[in-house]
Structure 1
Amino acid sequence: MNFKRLVSLIKQGAPKEQYYLELGSYFIRKGTGYVVGQPFEFSQVSRKKDAPKICKKQFFIKNLYFNFRQNKITYKLTTNPDLNRVEQEG
């Protein structure tokens, strides 16, 4: 969490809702286990009876957001990597 951002919000007298939004976004990002731009492989077995084969595809997470109606974290996928992504070491 960006502690400096929270302290600056308190110093500037931001409304408490903004403070809660910053905390909420932090916990949603940490609770997913994934980050935007992270690659993962998807395997699918073909349904042909004579010669089934495994088809592997690589997808990248394009967007993560919290769906309040379904009470779960949803995502959008893409096949193109985000070239401007910066790797975070941690």
Structure 2
Amino acid sequence: MATKQRKPASVEGTTVNLPGVTAEFHRPDHYVPTRDDLAGVAETVRGYLPSRQMMLFYGGLGALAALSVIEWPVAAAIGAGVALAQRSGTAST
């Protein structure tokens, strides 16, 4: 991921002199991410998402629960069990 150094805060600004108070306003120094930064974040997120096949499985499980074919606690238990079994299965290989 590309990193950029921050520029020093600009000296430019606006000063407002009021009776008894002087206020200085400066433009905020914000970091704007580059296209490479966003692409790196997208690749990282994709690494954590389940495969397309598993997304279909979880979607079907959610649809069954939404249509009351199975109760939602049962669907949640099945989904958690499958996710846990897959995670432990891939870690041991």
Q: Structure 2 length as normaliser, TM-score?
A: 0.28
Which has the greater radius of gyration?
2
- Between structures 1 and 2, the one with greater helix share: 2
Q: Structure 1 length as normaliser, TM-score?
A: 0.29
- Between structures 1 and 2, the one with greater strand share: 1
